[in-house]
Structure 1
Amino acid sequence: MRRGRPARCADALAWARGAGYAGTWFDAVVEPNRSAVARYERLGFTVIGTVPGAFEHPALGRIGLHVMHCPF
């Protein structure tokens, strides 16, 4: 059975914790994608910075990319 993205992300976080990692990060979550940002925040991530104008969105022009971190 195919699992959804949040479940796969939770599985990856559980694996990393079990493997002894101190945390993990995403380095390219587009700033206006509020649903993705909220999803990752529910999994324990926080925005630790934004690279301004790093992505050329087809409708919005240059937008920022969030760097998100999840400590374990």
Structure 2
Amino acid sequence: MNIRPATKQDYDSIWEIFSIVIQSGDTYAFDPETPKADLEKYWFGNSIQTFVAEGDGKILGTYILKPNQPGLGGHVANCGYMVHPDTRGKGVGSQLCLHSLEKAKQQGYRGMQFNFVVSTNEKAVKLWQKHGFTIIGTTPKGFRHRQLGFVDTYIMYRNL
């Protein structure tokens, strides 16, 4: 597996992953009916660096790296990760996380914060904890899960 900066040629592959992931309505706040045109602002917008993991001639997953906040909060990174459903459970998410931590350190970020981790996404919570993140806050009923209704979200943080 190779992780590299995304190019415009990766757009359709990233859209495929993005659209599948948000369709379930159980891990991301994006509207499941988000149009393809919106991918530009969510995954390729200003101050967003986009990366892809590729293997076997296809895109296996993607992540974005950006400042968590502008200006005086810009020393803390924020990331979002998505893995193609066909490659889940094969370590792609873990490799994307490790890559993002290294990139963030190289760029001088002092910490990384995830603002919105759905509490029922137990695999993601455990993965982030495995990589040194801790839950520093909870938003009660912060997410409208498509199957479970309102569930909590976590804010997770790790020093770099």
The equivalent of 1:45 in structure 2 is 133
More strand by share: 1
Give the letter for the 1:10 counterpart.
Answer: L
Distance (Å, rounded) in 2 between the aligned partners of 1:35 and 1:8:
15
Q: Superposition pairs for residues 1-72 of structure 1, below 5 Å?
A: 1=1, 2=54, 4-72=92-160
Distance (Å, rounded) in 1 between the aligned partners of 2:146 and 2:108:
40
Aligned-residue offset at 1:54: 1.1
Which entry has the higher C-alpha Rg, 1 or 2?
A: 2
Distance (Å, rounded) in 2 between the aligned partners of 1:22 and 1:44:
14
Deviations 1:16-67 (A, max 9, x none): 1122211011111101111110100111110000111111112211001111
Q: Which runs of 5+ in 2 are unaligned?
A: 2-53, 55-59, 61-91
Structure 1 consecutive aligned stretches of length 4 or more whose deviation exceeds 2 Å: none
Distance (Å, rounded) in 2 between the aligned partners of 1:8 and 1:33:
17
- Tell me the C-alpha RMSD between the 2 structures: 1.3
Give the letter for the 1:11 counterpart.
Answer: H
Q: How many residues align?
A: 72
Give the letter for the 1:71 counterpart.
Answer: N
